[in-house]
Amino acid sequence: MSDIEARLSALGHTLPAAPAPAANYVPFVVTGKHLFVSGQISSGPDGLILGKLGAELSVDDGVQAAQRCALALLAQAKAATGDLSKIARLVKLVGFVNSTPDFIEQPKVINGASDLMVEVLGDAGRHARSAVSAASLPLGVAVEIEAIFELV
CB within 8 A of 110, min separation 6: which ones?
66, 93, 95, 97, 129, 131, 143, 145
Residue 1 has pLDDT above 80, yes or no: no
Return mean pLDDT, the chain.
96
| Tally of domains within the chain | 1
Q: Residue 109 is part of which domain span?
A: 3-13+36-151
pLDDT in tens, 66-99: 999 999 999 999 999 999 999 999 999 999 999 9
User: Is residue 145 in a domain?
Assistant: yes
User: Is residue 70 in a domain?
Assistant: yes
CB 50, CB 138: distance < 8 Å: no
User: Is residue 20 in a domain?
Assistant: no
Residue 101 maps to which CATH number? 3.30.1330.40
The reported pLDDT for the residue numbered 22 is: 83
Look up residue 42 and give its amino acid: S
Mean pLDDT score, 106-135? 97
Q: Which of 24, 22, 30 is nearest to 80 (CA)?
A: 30
Question: In 3-state terms, what secondary structure has residue 120?
Answer: helix
What's phi and psi for 46, nearest 5 deg?
-100, 10
User: Is residue 59 in a domain?
Assistant: yes
The reported pLDDT for the residue numbered 139 is: 94
Look up residue 113 and give its amino acid: A
CB 95, CB 66: distance < 8 Å: yes
User: Is residue 29 in a domain?
Assistant: no
The reported pLDDT for the residue numbered 2 is: 83
Look up residue 106 and give its amino acid: Q
User: Is residue 23 in a domain?
Assistant: no
User: Is residue 28 in a domain?
Assistant: no
Mean pLDDT score, 41-49? 88
User: Is residue 127 in a domain?
Assistant: yes
Mean pLDDT score, 13-30? 93
Q: Which of 93, 121, 126 is nearest to 109 (CA)?
A: 93
pTM: 0.96
Name the region of 108 (left: φ>0; alpha: ψ -120 to 50; beta: rest).
alpha
